[in-house]
Structure 1
């Protein structure tokens, strides 16, 4: 079994198409097909079920996908460590970032300082749900990920550092019946009002659903949006109400404007539930942490207040 065979296999598994996989790998389709056949002979099982219309993974193929990803990630990691022997002059950092970065930690400043210290390191930034990014760290697809998951929600074997947390707040339109309140309980929100929710699988979505469960009420009708700044703007326009981290509308991580206020037509209400907080952590696998990733954690620690780095 050769490493290139695993790379070809993953290309087919991800595209479900031999032609597109060959183009991704910069080889002729006939050559790729031959190498896949050789891999199947080596493992003693068919990895794909092929028809004239589709390519599907067999049970053996499903089993090999995470193993192949892990093997290739370990090889890449070894190469990066060898490159770093003479100092962290080159390499790659694969970093996952959530949209909502809680608390005073300014991730843009962290990345800028990291680049200033290590200009030879190439960034590869991924934005996805917290669940998907944590899984990518566990499989070796990412070196680090900043996610909105609680420790018990992380894949087994991952380490984490809490970067910050801040309260969840409710954003309502200015003409909402509760708009003149400073603090509300989620049970007070009319069930007839539409709740503008973040994507499924995100840490924020889980935290909001947990807050509603503690209040003993159902969220009601959902309006799912993939961008937090769109959720805030839609609430301002009267489409519904939304629950977001306070730092997404105030402070250095605010998603709209200068961070000094809400969009026109919106009101921010505090939640009476003190447990309704948005906690952000950086997750990693300490057993296979690259030099580039370890250096990034050092910069993160430099930006954290002493009482935050836990």
Structure 2
């Protein structure tokens, strides 16, 4: 049998604690298990590492030498492992209109040596749950399963989207409440508004549904109904058949990042979340 890292880590913990009970607790081992590990290490190197006759904890000459080498070996291994983890590629899924500010945490993470792959997908939360991406960026108010966690990381001003053929395209001084009865186009998978986005939803209101942004904007352009979208759509998603109108009292939309908590997320994922 060859020396393994578990042998060296156990030996170092014992040397630093100078006590089997404390070292075993630190390593989350039973004391007999730690004793067996140390004895196994001594059999592998074929020499005694710890004095057995002294009443206090004391290393043999070989034990003192092994401590020096063990510290160097484990420090080198930990450094290499940390560097490789930072180079890990994580995949971020988003449904539409990746925010401009996303470039900042992406640059910070990649400056540390990591890599990010972006994936446009209609339902990033479903992809995250299926394990095909590492992090989901989404805007809808979703109830997540217990093995997913999320964090709100930004707030975006919302604007009204209407067809160029709609009478609202040239309307002035519109308020959010004025829009409560118009036919509404709702992206049920990744959209930011629905009938409940108004304080008193109209039960007779016509709702036209779709499941992605591309279909949503085409339905608005076809004057099937009005829509609401973050203001960045004005520059990021211009459409010849759509007008974006500022509504001063429109409720803002929120941007979230979600990740899996089970199994335990990769350290690269945690590193990116810290940067984000």
TM-score class normalised by the smaller sequence: 0.5 to 0.7
1:283 counterpart residue number: 258
Larger radius of gyration, structure 1 or 2? 2
1:244 counterpart residue number: 229
Out of 154, 164, 184, the residue aligned to residue 175 of structure 2 is: 184
Q: Distance in 1 between matches of 2:242 and 2:261?
A: 46
Query: 1:267: Cα distance to partner?
Result: 4.2
Q: Deviations over 1:36-80 (max 9, x none)?
A: xxxxxxxxxxxxxxxxxxxxxxxxxxxxxxxxxxxxxxxxxxxxx
Using the size of structure 1 for normalisation, the TM-score is 0.50
2:88 counterpart residue number: 91
DSSP 3-state at the match of 2:255? strand
Q: Distance in 2 between matches of 1:155 and 1:162?
A: 16
1:62 counterpart residue number: none
1:50 counterpart residue number: none
Asked if the contact 1:148–1:281 (Cα under 8 Å) also holds between the matched residues in 2, the reply is yes
Q: How does 1:160-239 map to 2 (within 5 A)?
A: 160-178=150-168, 179-186=170-177, 188=179, 191=182, 193=183, 195-198=184-187, 200-202=188-190, 204=192, 207-212=193-198, 214-218=199-203, 219-222=205-208, 224=210, 226-228=212-214, 231-232=216-217, 235-236=220-221, 238-239=223-224
DSSP 3-state at the match of 2:129? helix
How many residue pairs are counted as aligned between the two chains? 196
Asked if the contact 2:230–2:253 (Cα under 8 Å) also holds between the matched residues in 1, the reply is yes
Using the size of structure 2 for normalisation, the TM-score is 0.56
Structural RMSD (CA): 3.6
Question: Gapped runs of 5+ residues in structure 1?
Answer: 1-80, 257-261, 301-310
DSSP 3-state at the match of 2:157? strand
Query: 1:185: Cα distance to partner?
Result: 3.2
DSSP 3-state at the match of 1:183? coil
Query: 1:215: Cα distance to partner?
Result: 3.1
Out of 115, 118, 122, the residue aligned to residue 113 of structure 2 is: 118
Question: Gapped runs of 5+ residues in structure 2?
Answer: 1-77
- Counterparts in 2 of 1:82 and 1:99: CA distance versus 1, 3 Å: farther
Q: Distance in 2 between matches of 1:235 and 1:248?
A: 13
Query: 1:154: Cα distance to partner?
Result: 1.8
